[in-house]
Amino acid sequence: MAYSDKVIDHYENPRNVGKMDDKADNVGTGMVGAPACGDVMRLQIQVSDEGIIEDAKFKTYGCGSAIASSSLLTEWVKGKSLEQAAEIKNTEIAEELALPPVKIHCSVLAEDAIKAAVQDIRTKRGEETAAE
Ligand code: FES
Ligand code: FES
């Protein structure tokens, strides 16, 4: 299967790989796994008191498409509000990276990860969880 140039670019030069202190008050962590293949993704966001995402880091144990999806996502969420970040759809990621049908679940992993990270910081801050 041929990967798109964008997938290869993110795979070879992943942005924002790393780890944040998941105990910190201003850090939200999303850790999700893909039942389809067993890949695991950890996505973390650093959030200001105003609810703006100042930084994002990821670590993905998975295929090139999963790594590219999470790398792209960390670029997209910086500067966004929690609400905006939680609205990112896997279809937008899949479209940007031109993922083939068998790799769509890799972008779902990224959507699940950011939603989990947003949920985590909201829970830490004791906010009501908005129904999706
Ligand atoms: Fe997950 Fe490809 S099946 S790495
Ligand atoms: Fe399973 Fe990509 S995350 S093959």
Inside any domain, residue 72: yes
Confirm whether 52 is domain-assigned.
yes
Quote the radius of gyration of the chain (alpha carbons, Å).
Answer: 14
Say whether 109 sits in a helix, a strand or coil: helix
In a domain, 130, yes or no: no
Confidence of residue 129 (pLDDT cuts 50, 70, 90): low
d(CA 29, CA 27): 7
35 CA to middle of ligand 2, Å? Answer: 9
Ligand 2, atom 1, lies closest to the CA of 37
| Predicted local distance difference test score (pLDDT) of residue 117 | 98
55 in any annotated domain: yes
In angstroms, the CA 97 to CA 123 distance is 31
How many angstroms is it from 127 CA to the middle of ligand 2?
32
Specify the pLDDT at position 13. 94
Kindly state if the Cβ of 72 falls inside 6 Å of ligand 2. Answer: no
Nearest ligand to residue 41 Cα: 2
Tell me: pLDDT of 132 over 70. no
pLDDT tens column, 9-40: 999 999 999 999 999 999 999 999 988 788 99
The set of residues, in sequence order, having a beta carbon less than 8 Å from that of 13 and lying 6+ positions away, is none
Who has greater pLDDT, 2 or 98? 98
Res. 131 pLDDT band, cuts 50 70 90: low
Q: Is residue 131 part of a domain?
A: no
pLDDT digits (tens, 9 = 90+) for 44-98: 999 999 999 999 999 999 999 999 999 999 999 999 999 999 999 999 999 999 9
Q: Is the reported ipTM for this assembly greater than 0.85?
A: no
Burial of 6 (0-12, 13-18, 19+ CB in 10 A): middle
Residue 81: CATH number of its domain: 3.90.1010.10
pLDDT at 2: 73
102 alpha carbon, distance to own chain's centre: 19
Active site residue ranges: 37, 106
How many distinct structural domains can be found in the chain? 1
Q: Residue 51's domain spans which residues?
A: 5-123
Q: How far is Cα 53 from Cα 18, in angstroms, rounded to an integer?
A: 16
How far is the centre of ligand 2, averaged over its atoms, from the C-alpha of 105 (Å)? 6
Please tell me if the CB atom of residue 107 comes closer than 6 angstroms to any atom of ligand 2.
no
